[in-house]
Amino acid sequence: MSLPREFASDNTAPVHPAVLEALAAANQGPSHAYGKDPWTARAIEWFRRQFGPGTEVFPVWNGTGANVVSLRALTRPWQAVVCTAQAHIQVDECGAPELLTGCKLIDVPTPDGKLTQAMLRASMKGIGDFHHVQPAVVSLTQATEYGTVYTRDELSVLCGTAHELGLRVHMDGARIANAAASLGLPLRAITRDVGVDILSFGATKNGAMGAEAVVVFDPALAGPMLFLRKQSMQLSSKMRYVAAQFLALAEGDLWLANARHSNAMAHRLAAGVRGIPGISITQEVQGSAVFAILPRAVAERLQQEFHFYFWNEAILEVRWMTSWATSAADVDEFVAAIRAEMAKMAEVPGLPGMAGLPRTPEKPG
Ligand SMILES: Cc1ncc(COP(=O)(O)O)c(C=O)c1O
């Protein structure tokens, strides 16, 4: 079933046509397996141009796999990974990181999906006490699960503090392209240069069919990674088809255009919704997501025509996501529908009129 009115996730977006063309072009005759093919070599060169010489790159199948393999490289089973309470590794990976690292996740509640230096320091408990797990890694999601984005300075402070505390830094970059586009900075400036040790690099949400990579900045982690990737069932035999997807997104900086576009569509949606009384936007819109609180009846009526989820049903908060495939017309149509449903609600006798409902204050960004 096709879902033309789609604001649920960037995972529901189609594959970018350039990626499909690249897959077809790669599908010519035999080639070496397990990453010894020319497409993988060229993709690794692209990664090294982005992140600098010495970067080691391990293409994998999916984001959960990239996170698990990265965390396995950084931990022993009595250790722990500090992350936010909203982190994908904590909420949406079915316990795979705990199962496959043997480590506890220390999940820190945050208002906006971003860890702070103070939160990180406060999570360092029981150090040296054999009754307690020992924090070894902090995992930061960029852009966050709330569509917010860590600034370069925030990352520098967090990575510096982590290293000072003896922790390594993992970044879940399932939406790293959206973060780079939002900040107007090169990928390297918000990863390797600020002190990230290992990155889960995402391409699937950026227009690929299914292509992610573990990007290693600490050369000592590269040797074990070769074995961990295979043992974690993330080694692709026909790797050229994963690599060809990266190459398609690299061509002419399509990855950046896609990320800029999806961010712009989220901003357009937020700008439209801000003008509608009775709806409040709950998070800073910096990436490709808009979080909003609206009346349940309105949300449920909209869901009959548009695909999106409640994020936190207890407070009637929904998540609207955009992608490379969201058009300005899709957004405008959605905003018009939201406005119409809110107006209908305001006409119900006994309920306050539109004019009486609060508006979301204008926020920068
Ligand atoms: C923040 C984040 N990390 C990782 C992933 C990767 O998940 P998957 O294993 O489904 O590719 C996702 C997917 O939604 C995500 O949102």
C-alpha span between 126 and 365 (Å, rounded): 40
Assign 141 to helix, strand or coil. Answer: strand
pTM score, two decimals? 0.94
Answer whether 307's CB lies under 8 Å from 8's CB: yes
Q: DSSP string of 69-87?
A: HHHHHH--TTEEEEEETT-
Residues with CB under 6 A from ligand 1: 11, 62-64, 88, 141, 145, 172, 174, 204
- Res 2: pLDDT: 54
Ranges of the chain with pLDDT below 70: 1-4, 347-365
How many angstroms separate the alpha carbon of residue 174 from the centre of ligand 1? Answer: 6
How many angstroms separate the alpha carbon of residue 127 from the centre of ligand 1? Answer: 31
C-alpha span between 324 and 310 (Å, rounded): 22
- Res 355: pLDDT: 47
Residue to mutate (ligand 1; options 100, 148, 172, 201; most atoms within 8 A of CB): 172
CA proximity to 145, closest of 362, 267, 268, 319:
319
Omega cis (within 30) before 143:
yes
Whose Cα sits closest to atom 4 in ligand 1? Answer: 63
- Res 144: pLDDT: 98
Amino acid at 286: Q
- Res 38: pLDDT: 98
Q: Which atom of ligand 1 is nearest to the CA of 11?
A: 14
Residue to mutate (ligand 1; options 61, 64, 176; most atoms within 8 A of CB): 64
- Structural element, H or E, at residue 171: strand 168-173
- Res 275: pLDDT: 87
Dmax (CA) for the chain in angstroms is 71
- Res 356: pLDDT: 47
How many angstroms separate the alpha carbon of residue 275 from the centre of ligand 1? Answer: 32
How many angstroms separate the alpha carbon of residue 38 from the centre of ligand 1? Answer: 28
Give one word for 62, left, alpha or beta, with left for phi > 0 and alpha for psi -120 to 50: beta
How many angstroms separate the alpha carbon of residue 69 from the centre of ligand 1? Answer: 14
- Res 346: pLDDT: 72
CA proximity to 207, closest of 339, 3, 1, 16:
16
CA proximity to 97, closest of 131, 139, 143:
139
- Any alpha helices (H) in the chain, and if so which ranges? 17-26, 38-51, 63-74, 88-91, 96-101, 117-122, 152-164, 176-183, 222-231, 240-250, 254-274, 296-303, 328-346
280: Cα separation from own chain's centroid? 23
Q: Which atom of ligand 1 is nearest to the CA of 9?
A: 14
C-alpha pair distances (Å), 297 with each of 109, 333, 349, 358: 29, 19, 15, 18
Residue to mutate (ligand 1; options 70, 81, 88; most atoms within 8 A of CB): 88
Q: Which atom of ligand 1 is nearest to the CA of 145?
A: 1
Q: Which atom of ligand 1 is nearest to the CA of 10?
A: 14
- Res 3: pLDDT: 52
